[in-house]
Amino acid sequence: MYKDIDIFDLLTDESKEKIMKELKEAKAEAKKDGRAEGLVEGRAEGEKLGIAKALLETAKNLLKLGIPNDKIAEATKLNIEEIKALSAQMV
């Protein structure tokens, strides 16, 4: 019967160090890539939230001016139900 052998144990110290260094660099690169991806996603989400807030603020201002709901919906791309809910919150 063959005994289980850890291949890593068969390598020279120099080879082990090289492999460990490469793994460490790969891990650091993956972490860096993950952070960059997270930043991009975070920025995109922030932009969406900013746009939504601006549209709601615009809709509020148009409601205060007495603009009809259908015109506000056309201008802001919000649906009528959203505008009605916003109007009810303002009362």
pLDDT single digits (tens) 31-41:
888 888 888 89
* pLDDT for residue 79 is more than 80: yes
pLDDT of amino acid 1: 45
Specify if 1 maps to a domain: no
Q: 53, 71, 54: which is closest to 63 by C-alpha?
A: 71
Domain with 20, as residue range(s), is: 12-90
Q: What is the mean pLDDT of residues 17-31?
A: 88
Specify if 60 maps to a domain: yes
Specify if 6 maps to a domain: no
Number of domains, the chain: 1
Specify if 79 maps to a domain: yes
Specify if 62 maps to a domain: yes
The half-sphere exposure of 75 on its side-chain side, counting CA atoms within 13 A, is 17
**By CB neighbour count within 10 A (0-12 exposed, 13-18 middle, 19+ buried), where does 34 fall?**
exposed
Under 8 Å between Cβ of 18 and 36: no
Q: How far apart are the first and last CA of the chain?
A: 83
